[in-house]
Amino acid sequence: MNDRHNNFRKASVSAVADEVLGAAVRKTAELFVSMRAASIAEFAGFEDLRDWGRSRKLEVSGRLEEFALEFANRVEAAGAIVHFAHDAAEAADIAAGIAVKQGACTAVKSKSMTAEEISLNEVMMQAGVTVTETDLGEYIIQLAGEKPSHIIAPAIHKDRNQVAQLFHRFLGTAPGLDVDSLVRAARKTLRDRFLAAEIGITGANFAVAETGTLVLVTNEGNGRMTTTLPPVQIAIMGIDKIIPKISDLPGFLTLLTRSATGQTISSYVTIITGPRKPGEEEGPEVLHVVLLDNGRSPLARGPFREILHCLHCGACLNHCPVYRAVGGHAYESVYTGPMGDVLSPLLWGMKAYPDLPDACTLCGRCAEACPVRIPLPEYHRKLRILRAEGQTPWTAGASGAIGANPLLYRANLGLLRQILAHHKWLLNGRTGGALEAWTTCRELPRPKAGPGFRAWWGDRERGRL
Ligand code: SF4
């Protein structure tokens, strides 16, 4: 049963008031935006590549189950053990069951939003398996007992001081370390965890149907260590991660890394086709692949199909003025920012995330940045319409009646101009500060003196102007 209930409006109020959070999120988001812009400016064919990426993804979402089956057959033929999971609980139980059967107590994990989606760490812990996050950002928030607040930069909301305090508390490092020393301290601790781990857990950035190949994109090398040091690897991936052919990989890698961090290519691209073969020096001895549906098949047949094309690059988050004001935790979902506003209600239901379609100014910056041209503003609008269907709030009824009657409409406009002209009276406490919450972060416009637009238009039409 789904017991989620997000209150974005309430959560965003405290997020906006947190100055450290706001500064940290804006600083990194702006850095990502400028790095993306510079990277794209030097790449003449990027717009064509975006069109290509979208059309390739349309092919996949148009035959999603077929591609999933093809990938499963190929990865199985390469020696992996394939598991299909209908929903999140089933996927987490499968992964925990593999670990328990293996007699494992420790696992290392490289960053995986799908693992977050299925609450894998919690289920593993209940099964007696300790999971250590190995992506630096994920490790920081694991120490802090928090959830990721950005799809590629999970600890985006924390500044260096906060991380230094965390490391001082949990790793016993000296207080106030600089960034290099913090990275060294994390590396030292994580090295021991890698060497001791019995299971390596990963997601997949891409999965190639043609060859049964898993592709991991990282910048810290932790994905490579997670897939080479522990004897058993469990890869958990949504079926939307599939791309048709290995020849599609360079194009999708370019779209992903240039949109995410502005890199030509990420520092590490790990490509795995099946477990380690005789004579090979690297790779897991046993490879399990958990293919998660969790609502993706019906989504691929519906009007929001393109949300499954998401490459998880984070560009829409970095460009979104709402995300930049509140950070990720206010969304109370694994998926945050514009793509999360759309995906969360579709995966977990509108009742669970009633506010998220409103967490959008419809400015369109997300759609301009998205490497596969997902129509995110249009999807926000569609979700608002879906939510409103069957509901006729009194405001909708009243505004409909006013709009349908010219006399009422004009009278209402005149009244509104009077109210706006004296809005200080509204805010000075005599009405209990009715609009105060709304205007803490917005300017309430005051109408200019003189005749209104309709009077001006009438004069113009009569040739008086
Ligand atoms: S919706 Fe587009 S821009 Fe946003 S994370 Fe996904 S691929 Fe990137």
- Residue 23: count of CB within 10 angstroms of its CB: 12
Q: Is 6 helix (H, G, I), strand (E, B) or coil?
A: coil
- The answer to whether residues 156 and 316 touch, using CB atoms and an 8 Å cutoff, is no
Spatial neighbors of 377 by CB under 8 A, at least 6 apart, are: 360, 362, 363, 364, 366, 367
List, for residues 308-347, the tens digit of each pLDDT value.
999 999 999 999 999 999 999 999 999 999 999 999 999 9
CA 459 – CA 452 distance, rounded (Å): 11
Mean pLDDT calculated for residue range 163-189:
96
pLDDT of res. 423: 65
Atom of ligand 1 at shortest distance to CA of 313? 8
Q: What DSSP assignment string belongs to 86-119?
A: SSHHHHHHHHHHHHHHTT--EEEE---HHHHHTT
Beta carbon of 369 within 6 Å of any ligand 1 atom: yes
List, for residues 33-71, the tens digit of each pLDDT value.
999 999 999 999 999 999 999 999 999 999 999 999 999
CA 311 – CA 131 distance, rounded (Å): 25
Q: H or E stretch including 316?
A: helix 315-319
Atom of ligand 1 at shortest distance to CA of 259? 8
Choice from 58, 259, 322, 373 to test ligand 1 binding pocket (greatest atom count within 8 A of CB): 259
Beta carbon of 158 within 6 Å of any ligand 1 atom: no
Residue 282 is which amino acid?
A: E
Nearest CA to ligand 1 atom 3: 370
List, for residues 363-403, the tens digit of each pLDDT value.
999 999 999 999 999 999 999 999 998 554 455 556 667 77
Chain centroid to CA 463: how far? Answer: 55
Domains belonging to the chain, first-starting first, are 1-42+314-391 (no CATH), 65-297 (3.40.50.10420), 407-461 (no CATH)
Q: H or E stretch including 288?
A: strand 286-292
The C-alpha angle with vertex 280 and arms to 276 and 284, in degrees rounded to 5, equals 25
Sheet (strand 268-272) strand order: 242-243, 206-208, 213-218, 268-272
pTM value surpassing 0.75: yes
Beta carbon of 307 within 6 Å of any ligand 1 atom: no
List, for residues 84-136, the tens digit of each pLDDT value.
999 999 999 999 999 999 999 999 999 999 999 999 999 999 999 999 999 99
Mean pLDDT calculated for residue range 427-456:
66
Nearest to 242 by CA among 273, 275, 201, 212: 212
Q: What percent of the chain has pLDDT over 90?
A: 80
